[in-house]
């Protein structure tokens, strides 16, 4: 059974940093791309970032480019999202999903809440 | 980055048929955009229904189908059930460099 479990969310001040993690199980993590998607309270889904499996190429939305970094550690079956220079409009539930460029998106985690506030 | 457009809300009668669409401000939606459709119910994570325009996952009910309709991607629900009441989002991939969700369609089964 495929499982994706996010962690690392919490309350952070504007300008601060946070690193999200997504631990994957139930499949060969290194063979599939992964993505981050967020959802601000009461709003729609926003695609944030993705990383390709075959070469680790990364992709970012303009809204986070230069501030967020996606990475993966296949030895730990873990996807990361390093978030720097956080702003109030980064407040959202952050979901990881299996899939993205070169891989079909199928499974989703339950999300982790990030709140940026002073 | 392009903007992806969806109907904000739609209503369908139980047992009825409804088509949701997904357009792009950058031009016609094609199979090259690898259109996806996701369903999200309140308090839940999204669930992938359709990928690459018309392909279904093992858990996708047969009453859902995806297609290209004119210059848009489309999600058709035939034989709506009360449990289909949810928000539906499309996702398009652009030039292999970024992806964009539509604003979502709130579907009411009434």
- 10-residue stretch averages of pLDDT, chain B, 110 residues long: 96 98 97 97 98 97 98 98 98 92 98
Residue (of A63, A60, A75) closest to A28 by Cα position: A75
- Between chains, do B40 and A45 touch, taking CB under 8 Å as contact? yes
Chain B residues within 8 angstroms (CB to CB) of chain A: 1, 36, 38, 40, 45-48, 51-52, 55, 57, 87, 89, 91, 93, 96-104
Does the pLDDT of residue A40 top 90, yes or no?
A: yes
Q: Among A47, A106, A109, whose Cβ lies nearest the Cβ of B48?
A: A106
Q: Are A63 and A4 in contact (CB under 8 A)?
A: no
Handedness of CA A64, A68, A69, A73 (dihedral sign): negative
Determine the 3-state secondary structure of A101 from DSSP. Answer: coil
Does the pLDDT of residue A10 top 90, yes or no?
A: yes
* Cα separation, B4 vs A45, whole angstroms: 12
* CA B47 to each of CA A8, B22, B69: distance values in angstroms, whole numbers, following the listed order: 22, 17, 23
Angle CA B31–B33–B20, to nearest 5 = 80
- Between chains, do B1 and A61 touch, taking CB under 8 Å as contact? yes
Does the pLDDT of residue A103 top 90, yes or no?
A: no
Query: Which pLDDT score, from 0 to 100, does residue B102 have?
Result: 98
Quote the tokens at residue B59.
Answer: 């858990």
pLDDT per position as a tens digit, A66-92:
999 999 999 999 999 999 999 999 999
Mean pLDDT score across all residues of chain A:
97
- Between chains, do A105 and B102 touch, taking CB under 8 Å as contact? no
CB contact set of B99 (below 8 Å; sequence gap of 6+): A47, A50, A59, A100, B91, B92, B93
- Between chains, do A108 and B45 touch, taking CB under 8 Å as contact? yes
Residue A28 distance to chain B (closest CA, Å): 19
Q: What are phi and psi of A88, to 5 degrees?
A: -60, -35
The residue of B7, B9, B39, B45 whose CB has the most chain A CBs within 10 angstroms, and thus the best one to mutate to test that interface, is: B45
Query: Which pLDDT score, from 0 to 100, does residue B100 have?
Result: 97
Query: Which pLDDT score, from 0 to 100, does residue B48 have?
Result: 97
Report, in angstroms and rounded to the nearest whole number, the Rg of chain A calculated over CA atoms.
Answer: 13
Does the pLDDT of residue A101 top 90, yes or no?
A: no
Angle CA B70–B71–B74, to nearest 5 = 75
The residue of A38, A61, A105 whose CB has the most chain B CBs within 10 angstroms, and thus the best one to mutate to test that interface, is: A105
Task: Determine the residue of chain A that is closest to B55 in CA distance.
Answer: A104
The residue of B48, B89, B93, B94 whose CB has the most chain A CBs within 10 angstroms, and thus the best one to mutate to test that interface, is: B48
* CA A27 to each of CA A23, A24, A32, A33: distance values in angstroms, whole numbers, following the listed order: 11, 8, 9, 12
Residue (of A92, A107, A82) closest to A20 by Cα position: A82
Query: Quick check: A94 contacting B, CB < 8 Å?
Result: no
């Amino acid at each position: 059974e495929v499982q994706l479990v996010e962690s690392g969310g919490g309350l952070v001040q504007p300008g601060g940093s946070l690193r999200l993690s997504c631990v994957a199980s139930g499949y060969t993590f290194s063979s599939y791309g992964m993505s981050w998607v967020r959802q601000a309270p009461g709003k729609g889904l926003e695609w944030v970032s993705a990383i390709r499996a075959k070469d680790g190429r990364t992709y970012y939305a303009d809204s986070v480019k230069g501030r967020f970094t996606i990475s993966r550690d296949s030895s730990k079956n873990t996807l990361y999202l390093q978030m720097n220079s956080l702003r109030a409009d980064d407040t959202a539930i952050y979901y990881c999903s299996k899939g993205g460029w070169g891989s079909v998106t199928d499974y989703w985690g339950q999300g982790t809440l990030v709140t940026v506030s002073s | 980055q392009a903007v992806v457009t969806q109907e904000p809300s739609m209503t369908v009668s139980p047992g009825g048929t409804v088509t949701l669409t997904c357009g792009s401000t950058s031009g016609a939606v094609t199979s090259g955009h690898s259109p996806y459709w996701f369903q999200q119910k309140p308090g839940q994570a999204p669930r992938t229904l359709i990928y690459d325009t018309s392909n279904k996952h093992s858990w996708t009910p047969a009453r859902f189908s995806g297609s290209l309709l004119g210059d848009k991607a489309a999600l058709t629900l035939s034989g709506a059930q009360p449990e289909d009441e949810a928000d539906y989002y499309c996702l398009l991939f652009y030039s292999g460099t970024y992806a964009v969700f539509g604003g979502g369609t709130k579907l009411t089964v009434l």
